[in-house]
Amino acid sequence: MTLSTRALPAGTPPVFPACFRAGGLGRVIGAGGWRADLLMLAAGALAALAFPPVDLFPILVPCLAVLTAAIDAAGSWRGAARRGFLFGLGLHTAGLYWLTDAILVRADSFWWLVPLASPGCALILAPITALPAALCRLAPVGWRRLLAFAGLWTLFDMGRVFIFSGFPWNPLGTTWELPGRLGDVMIQPAAWIGVDGLTLATVLLALLPQGGRRGVVAALAGLAVWGLAGWGRLVLTPTAASRNPTVVLVQGNVSESRKIDGHDNVAIFRSYLALTRSGIADALPEAGARPVVFVWPETAFPGLLQEDDIARRMIARAGRGAAAGVIGTIRSDAEGHWRNSVMAVTGPDGRVADVYDKSHLVPFGEYQPRLLPFHVVPGDGMAAGNGVRTWHLPDVAPVGPLICYEVIFSGQVVDAKDRPDWLVNVTNDAWYGDSAGPRQHLAAVRMRAVEEGLPVARAANTGISAVFDAHGHEVARLGWNRQGVLVVSLGAPLSGTLFGHWGRWIPILLALATVLPTLGSWMRRAGRRAVARRL
C-alpha cells in the first residue's frame, strides 16, 4: 500500500493507502501546509453526510482514508494530532450546523453568536479526534495502526459523556440508522454491543478497503455477517404478550418564539386540552382492556403545573378515561431551584402521582458552563435531577421517563435495578427548526429502543413524534411542523438484551482489544531501545 514517490515531495514517507496512488490528494497530503489543513477540514465535513438524515455512510471510506493517510504522512505525533483536530473540527461543525437555528430564535440578544455556535462546539469536540490520531502513531504503519486508530477513536468518542454534562451526539454507529427495514436490520447488533460497538465496527469496516482487494472482500464479508446477524435477531427474538398501554402522543406544534413571548399561554393550553380530548376519543375504542396514557411534550404546559390545581383538573377532564397523563412542565423545588420536569397526573382531580426531573442538562442551553466569559443561559439556569428512574403508576406498566436530550446517552436511560416495560421521551425540538437536528435526535431514540429491548413513545412539540417497538422498528410517526395526535398501542418489551445487562463495558472491552496489538508492539520496541541504551 504505497504511493509512487514521484507524486510526493522529497522526504515524504510513502505510506499512503492504495486509493491515493493516482496523485492529486497524495501530493496535497504529503506536502502539508495550509492545503493539507483545508483538505482535513473538507474530509471531516464530508464525513458528516453519513449522519441522519442524509445517511450517506459509504462516504466514511474515502474520508477516513484521507485522515489515516494524513496521520501516516505527518512528521510527528503533533502533526498527526493537528490533522486529527482539523478533521474533527470539520466533522462536528458540519454535523452540528443546526445549532445555529437555536441562536436565531434569540437573535435579538445573541446575533453575534450565530457564526460561532457550531464551530464553537466543534472546537470543544475536536480534541476527541486529535487524540486517537496522535496516539495511533505508537503502532507501526499497517494493520496494527489501523486497528489502534479504530479502537482509540471509539474509546475517546465514548469519553464525550464527560464533557460538561455530556455531549455524545452523533457517534458514527448512528450512520446505520437507515430508513425502513434495511435500517432495522443493520442496527440490531446494538442490542449486543451498543451504539459505541457499532461505531467501532463502522470505523473498522471503513478502513478495511485500504488493504486493497483483500480488504474490500473482507469489508463486504463483514457487512454480510452484520446483516445476517441483524436479520436473525429480528426473526428469532421472541416477544411476549403486551401489557403496555395505548399511548396518545399530543403534538401541539407551538413555535419557540411563541412560547418565549408568553402572550398566548391560555390559547396554547386550550389547544392541548382540545387535542387531548380528540386523542382520548380515538384511543379508548382501540385500547380495549389496555390502559390509555396521554403524553404532552417537554415544557408543553405554559406555567407551573404542580402549583396549578385548576389546570390539573382541566387536564384530567380532557383526558377522562385515561389511566394517566404525562405532562412536560417547569417546576420550582423547595430550595427555589428551577427544574425541567415531567409529571404524571392521575385521577379526576389531576393529582400529581410522580415527578421526574431532567438529570442531563444541555450545556449553554439549560446551564452555564463556568469556562464561558459571557452569560448565555437565562437567570441561573436549571438544576439537574438525580438520574433515571422508573415510575409505577396505578394500572400502568412500569415506565421510564426521559426528557429530551437524555435519550442520547447510551447505557444511561434505564434504571438497571428497576427495569421498566417501556420508555417515554418528551422533547421540544422547536429550537432547531426543520433541520437535521430533530432527525438525528429521533435516530438516538430508535437506537435506545434496540439497545434496551424496550418500546419507546416520543412526544415532540413541533415533531417528530414517533413510536418504536422493542426492535427499533418505527410503528408510527407524526411529522415535523404538524399539529395533531398519534394513537398507538405499544408492543411488548423483550426479555432483556446483552447490552442492557452489561452496558458500555462491552464496547469498552472490544475497543481495548483492538488497541492491545499496538500496546504490545510499543512495549517491545521500548524494551529494545532500553537494551540498546544499556549496551
Per-block average pLDDT, block size 10, for the chain (535 residues)? 37 43 59 80 96 94 93 89 96 92 71 76 93 91 89 95 84 94 96 97 94 90 95 87 93 86 88 96 93 96 92 96 96 87 95 93 71 60 87 96 94 94 95 90 96 97 96 96 96 93 95 83 60 59
Order of strands, sheet of 324-332, starting from the edge strand that comes earlier in the sequence = 351-357, 338-346, 324-332, 292-295, 246-251, 484-489
Q: Is the dihedral of CA 160, 161, 167, 168 positive or negative?
A: positive
Task: Find out whether 483 and 255 touch, Cβ atoms under 8 Å.
Answer: no
pLDDT in tens, 421-456: 999 999 998 888 889 999 999 999 999 999 999 999
* Cβ 299 vs Cβ 338: under 8 Å: no
- 510 is written with which cell numbers? 472490544
Q: What is the pLDDT of residues 119-139, one digit of tens each?
A: 888 999 999 999 999 999 888
In 252-337, the DSSP E strands lie at 292-295, 324-332
The predicted structure's pLDDT at residue 129: 95
The length of the chain, given as a count of residues: 535
pLDDT score, position 433: 87
d(CA 188, CA 327): 31
Helix (H) / strand (E) element for 322: namely none
Beta bridge partners of 330: 340
C-alpha cell at 82: 493537528
Over pLDDT 70: what percentage of the chain?
A: 87
Q: How far apart are CA 465 and CA 479, in angstroms?
A: 7
Q: Quick one: pLDDT at residue 530?
A: 58
The dihedral sign for the CA sequence 317, 318, 319, 325: negative
pLDDT for 377:
59
- Top CATH class of 246-494 equals alpha beta
What pLDDT is recorded for position 112? 65
Domain boundaries, the chain: 12-236+505-514, 246-494
Give the separation between CA 12 and CA 287, rounded to whole angstroms. 69
Distance CA 352, CA 476 (A): 29
Cβ atoms of 452 and 414 within 8 Å: the answer is yes
**Looking at residue 237, what is its pLDDT?**
86
pLDDT score for 3: 35
Contact 116, 374 (CB under 8 A): no
pTM: 0.89
Radius of gyration of the chain (CA): 25
Nearest one of 75, 50, 77, 76 to 64, comparing CA atoms: 50
The secondary structure element, H or E, covering residue 99 is: helix 99-105
**Catalytic (active-site) positions:** 298, 358, 404
| pLDDT of 15 | 41
